Amino acid sequence: MPRAPALAVSSWRTERYSGSGMTREVATLEWIGDVDGNLRILDQTRLPREVVFRECRDERAVWEAIKTLQVRGAPAIGIAAAYGVCLGMKLAPNDERGFFQRLEEVTSYLASSRPTAVNLFWALDRMRRRADTLRGQPPEVIRKALLKEARAIHEEDRALCHAIGRWGESLIEDGSGVLTHCNAGGLATAEYGTALAVIYEAVAKGKRIHVYADETRPLLQGARLTAWELKAHGVPVTLICDNMAAEVMKEGKVQAVIVGADRIAANGDTANKIGTYGLAVLARYHRIPFYVAAPSSTFDLQLSHGGLIPIEQRDPQEVTCPFGIPIAPEGVDVYNPAFDVTPAELVTAIICEKGVIRPVNRETIAAVLTGAADNSQGPQAALKSSANG
Ligand code: MRU
């Protein structure tokens, strides 16, 4: 089994690590082969100690990978699910009725893997709609089109993440300390990330940035994944326990907080990894800007406010017995919501691929997402026009 890197990273498309004398590419998700191919995923539960890839050959393997967080992060979950549909349709009957019945079964099944990240449902809907446009065509034609659609979702996410980075970078000043929570990086997306894209882009522009990464109890995505990813890319990072954030802010080490999102309601209320809401409250007290970075596929405009976002409740064992080590009395009552909702009023701005949404409210969100806001002059112009409005 290859040991985790020492990464020598030259670019996002050609990340490489050397382990046990071998060099391999590190990609969060990769479709191998043609329409009858398989999905290769980087098993994130094994990081940072080991770099392990798994091959998913059917939709059940993808469901399991999403459920157990081998693939995690809202955009990556959506991409994996889209490929999961392609895997599930390998065994589809040849008649149209049977084919579409199978499509319904596969998409409903994949939709039951995790409830909060709306990118999952967005991607599955997109796959269903694509197939619908091809009713009357032979099944093999529809299957090919579905794979093309999944690849498009994957490819578009790369572009969206880079656009988010470009929009967000102007918000971060040279010499800033930036605090982030969970992992909203390349591991959680096709590549580059959302919150971390902003940091990567600022660093690429020559800004000196120091990241504070919350460890992110209970599953430690910050410690295991964000710290690993940032180190691999040569970005200075200091790992802190979640309960240290207030002190680090009080000491003046943090000039901005940037997090990702799993679902953003129409009014800007934002669901993200548990602990995000607390950070937003702390940031407000310390007068530190609190930014959310997410693609438009993370917005759920059908939900008028964050109270309507379904919050995943996870196994109590994640709290009482983290990584197999019992740390609490047997049978103790546990509350383990995987996400919380930060009210829009605590969010300074949302950075999406279409621009910077600021102030955050129903109107500015609708304007930027529909392209009605004047972002044509780039990030600074978008900021000015929203401040005037
Ligand atoms: O439970 P996880 O690890 O899937 O939670 C992930 C997060 O909360 C991320 O911040 C969010 O999905 C944004 S990823 C770009």
Task: List, chain by chain if needed, residues with CB within 6 Å of any ligand 1 atom.
Answer: 69, 72-75, 117, 182, 184, 188-189, 193-194, 221, 260-262, 272-273, 338
161, 185, 220 - which closes a domain: 161
What is the C-alpha to C-alpha distance for residues 157 and 151, in angstroms, rounded to an integer? 10
Q: What mean pLDDT is reported for the chain?
A: 91
User: Mind listing the pLDDT tens digit for each residue in 252-269?
Assistant: 999 999 999 999 999 999
* One domain for residues 71 and 199: no
**Could you tell me the distance, in angstroms and rounded to a whole number, from the CA of residue 24 to the centre of ligand 1?**
25
Question: Is residue 311 a contact partner of residue 253, using CB atoms and an 8 Å limit?
Answer: no
pLDDT digits (tens, 9 = 90+) for 82-129: 999 999 999 899 999 999 999 999 999 999 999 999 999 999 999 999
Last residue of a domain, one of 161, 178, 200: 161
167 and 152 fall within a common domain: no
Q: Which DSSP string corresponds to 127-138? A: HHHHHHTTTTS-
**Structural tokens at position 81:** 């699910």
Q: Whose CA is nearest to atom 8 of ligand 1?
A: 273
pLDDT at 53 exceeding the cut of 70: yes
For residue 2, is it within any domain? no
Cα 69–Cα 74–Cα 80 angle in degrees, nearest 5: 65
Q: Which of 100, 131, 161 is at the close of a domain?
A: 161
Q: Of 242, 262, 269, 300, which residue is the catalytic one?
A: 262
Q: Give the alpha-carbon dihedral of 256, 189, 72, 47, to 10 degrees.
A: -80
- What's the predicted TM-score (pTM) here? 0.92
Which residues span the domain enclosing 126?
9-161
Query: Residue 255's pLDDT is what?
Result: 98
| CATH number of the structural domain spanning residue 141 | 1.20.120.420
In a domain, 366, yes or no: yes
Answer yes or no: do 185 and 90 share one domain: no
Name which of 82-86, 244-248, 302-306, 382-386 the model is least confident about: 382-386
Q: How many CB atoms lie within 10 A of CB 280?
A: 24
Ligand 1 centroid to Cα of residue 191, in Å, is 14
Same domain, 167 and 115: no
Residue percentage of the chain with pLDDT more than 90: 88
Q: How many domains is the chain built from?
A: 2
For ligand 1, the distance from its centroid to the CA atom of residue 103, given in whole angstroms, is 27
The DSSP annotation for 264-329 comes to: EETT--EEEETTHHHHHHHHHHTT--EEEE--GGGEETT-SSGGGS---B--THHHHSGGG---S-
What is the Cα–Cα distance from 194 to 111, expressed in whole angstroms?
A: 23
Per the annotation, the verdict on 262 as an active-site residue is yes
